Copies of this chain bind each other. A is one copy, B any other.
Amino acid sequence: MISPFARIDPDARIGKNVTVGDFTVVHANVVLEDGCTIDSHCIIGYPTPLAEEMPLRVGPGALIRSHSVLYAGTTIQERLSTGHHVVIREKSLVGRQCQIGSYTELQGDLEIGDYTRTQSSVFIPKHSHIGRAVWLLPRVTLTNDPHPPSDPGNLGVHIEDYAVLAADCTVLPGITIGTRALVAASSLVTRDVEPDTVVAGVPAKKRGMTREILLKDGSGESAYPWMRHFYRGYPEDLVNSWIKDYGDKNES
């Protein structure tokens, strides 16, 4: 299951039932846990002095699609799934069962909570703090520098649990987006967003509460919190907690 056309450093620690594709490079300072699948043309454990000799740890059951680059010094919990051409730099802390879309870049020194999903071409710079079960749709851009170029200190964006940022949004440095909030497509977020609210526009303004948005399926039910109706790919115990906390629109 290790391609003879891959280049594996003999010091890499590789678990059971690991697959490594053709023309992939695995460096020394790497821990690939059991059941990981690494596609072809990847670089696993890209070396950098910024990793301060910490290894890349990839939790069990990961699926890393082709042409992706994962740096040394990053820690990823179990069952990460990535698209193609992903870059994840050093000192990224990535929770369990996250999904990272194609062409997405995590620039390192950042945290992403469990079950969070980015779609394609999302940009997440250093000092970003992203909670659990957040959704970042295609082309979301986070920032961290209030007056570029400068040394940005700690002005990363904070995104709280269950928030949704729609396609092509940009968020200014130091902004907090509250739990279960929704940022509409192509918005520029220049002020903090309160929990459970919808914002839209350039600059983004409050347009109401997320619960006012109805499902397009004619049910008359609210589309938010989305955890009432969208369960695909989440673990059963998590979905059960959502049903307990938010109800189930199928049973209302």
Contact = CB atoms under 8 A, between A and B. Distances in A.
B172 A170 contact: no
Given A170-B186, A202-B186, A148 B137 contact: yes
A22 B22 contact: no
Interface in A10-27: 21-23, 25
Label chain A's interface by main secondary structure: loop
A210 B138 CA distance: 29
Contact of A147 (B21, B143, B223): B223
Contact of A185 (B143, B149, B215, B230): B143
A84 interface: yes
Contact of A43 (B41, B139, B224): B41
Interface string A204-238: 00000000010111000001101001101000000
Contacts of A7: 5, 22
Contacts of A230: 149-151
Interface stretch (A51-59, A161-169, A240-248): A161-169
Interface string A182-209: 0001101000000000000110000000
A141 B167 contact: yes
Contacts of A143: 137-138, 166-167, 185
Given A66-B43, A143-B185, A202-B202, A138 B155 contact: no
Contacts of A168: 141, 168, 170, 188
A181 interface: no
Given A69-B84, A141-B167, A170-B185, 14 more contacts: A23-B23, A39-B43, A41-B43, A46-B66, A85-B103, A87-B102, A138-B141, A139-B139, A143-B185, A147-B224, A151-B232, A153-B216, A155-B216, A186-B202
